[in-house]
Structure 1
Amino acid sequence: MVAASKTHPAERIEPLLEQGQRVFGENRVQEAQNKWPGLRERYPDAELHLIDQLPSNKAEEAAALLDCIHSLDRPSLLKALAKAFDKTGRRVPCFVQVDVGEEDQKGGCPIGQLPDFLAQARAADIPLAGLMCLPPQDIEPAPFFALLDKLARDHGLAGEQSSGRSMGLSMGMSGDFETAIQLGATHIRVGSALFGARGL
């Protein structure tokens, strides 16, 4: 479970750390830089994931700070990350975000471009963690989760567990994580169920 701590201050994150939660998701590199150094001093085993769009000009800072990126979705970012990984010596695992709902505003690699994009990532020595998606709002998410699972299998990003479900799927949030888990999610991004509504 990735606790989506984006927009929440350090004092709201620390109680979860005290209770044993170790994987957290932020949406902006600068916000993470501001609030996580102190938390990581006290909890050095905490993992920090980026769960929103990453501007290409923040690639080097992201490479130095993050433990996983869930939003690799375009060639310009791929090139920036490859360069940043070479410079920093850190190769951060990346989920490729797929535009399963054909919604340009959410980002994500178009499904038709996924084979070429994955080939480019592998050629650039980007460590691939799997696939990620954000289904359209107000539509039953199960078909989109199932589609992501199929895409992972079709493109060699599916390891097998004893249950037969694929590994490396970042999908599902507070309102639909149970469905996502049923359809093979390995990483769920849970915010409001843990922290309440933003700004509270």
Structure 2
Amino acid sequence: MTDLSPDHPAASSPSVAEAFARARHRISRAARAAGRPDEDVVLVAVTKTQSDAAVEAALAVGQRTFGENRVQEAQARWAGRKAVLPDLNLRLIGPLQTNKVVDALRLFDVIETLDREKLARALAEAGSKLGVRPRVLVQVNTGAEPQKAGVLPGEAPALIAAARALDLAVEGLMCIPPVDEAPGPHFALLAKIAAREGLGVLSMGMSDDYETAVRFGATHVRLGSALFGPRSKPAP
């Protein structure tokens, strides 16, 4: 599970390679249209439920930043690879339970889904035990959707302050706009909160709206189906 030779079967997968090329081109085009350099935007490949072959194909085209939704699934996929790929960057983009915090900090470089003070305290305590300073993004529920994780926009400053007081490395914000609303206003709101709080990282934009997110200042876009195709549903 190291870098692949050109004749490795995963390395020659045209669909994944072409999908990455398309996505990188579209990110670059959107960044230039917004007057931003290409390197301002990091492509985060979302590999939840993906096959080993798909992951190897992504690695073969030079992808090193990945997002995962579940700690246990990510451990199975990445623990061995991380030991031999020092430039791998793993980001937790799904909800985190406090009883999974230690495992999460051992595996992930950044936790993008800090959404409550209880979790901030758990991260700080686990970080102290492990001798690391947790790097986090605060997830903001920009649409105030009751079924969705994230702190409400008006409560974000208080959570950011609490996390900073616990010596967490608060790097930025993350959001997932409502699926039935135009994403632009939600991205603009997230950018406004980040600017007010002096935060430089904006993780926003997924497969259907990442070019819009780049125009509104996204520094990280999280793409799954745009790279790997629709996820197959688990068998009943």
TM-score, normalization: structure 2? 0.78
Counterpart residue type for residue 195 of structure 1: F
- Of structures 1 and 2, the larger Rg is shown by 2
8 Å CA contact 2:79–2:107 kept in 1: the answer is no
In 1, Cα distance between the equivalents of 2:119 and 2:224?
26
In 1, Cα distance between the equivalents of 2:216 and 2:75?
34
Among residues 10, 27, 52, which one is paired with 1:10 in the alignment? 52
Residue 174 (structure 1) aligns with = 207
Residue 65 (structure 2) aligns with = 23
Structure 1 unaligned segments of length 5 or more: list them.
Answer: 158-166
In 1, Cα distance between the equivalents of 2:51 and 2:169?
30
Q: Give, in angstroms, the shift of residue 42 of structure 1.
A: 4.1
In 1, Cα distance between the equivalents of 2:159 and 2:178?
22
Deviates more, 1:139-148 or 1:107-116: 107-116
Residue 111 (structure 2) aligns with = 69
In 1, Cα distance between the equivalents of 2:80 and 2:51?
12
Matching of residues 143-154 of structure 1 within 5 Å = 143-154=185-196
Cα RMSD over matched residues? 1.2
Matching of residues 60-139 of structure 1 within 5 Å = 60-139=102-181
1:195 aligns with 2:228: yes
Residue 184 (structure 1) aligns with = 217
8 Å CA contact 1:14–1:39 kept in 2: the answer is no
8 Å CA contact 1:72–1:94 kept in 2: the answer is yes
How many residues are treated as equivalent by the alignment?
A: 191
Residue 163 (structure 1) aligns with = none
Identity among equivalent pairs (%): 51
Structure 2 unaligned segments of length 5 or more: list them.
Answer: 1-42
Structure 1 residue matching 2:66: 3-state secondary structure = strand
Q: Deviations over 1:79-103 (max 9, x none)?
A: 1101111011122311100110001
8 Å CA contact 2:124–2:134 kept in 1: the answer is no
In 2, Cα distance between the equivalents of 1:37 and 1:117?
31
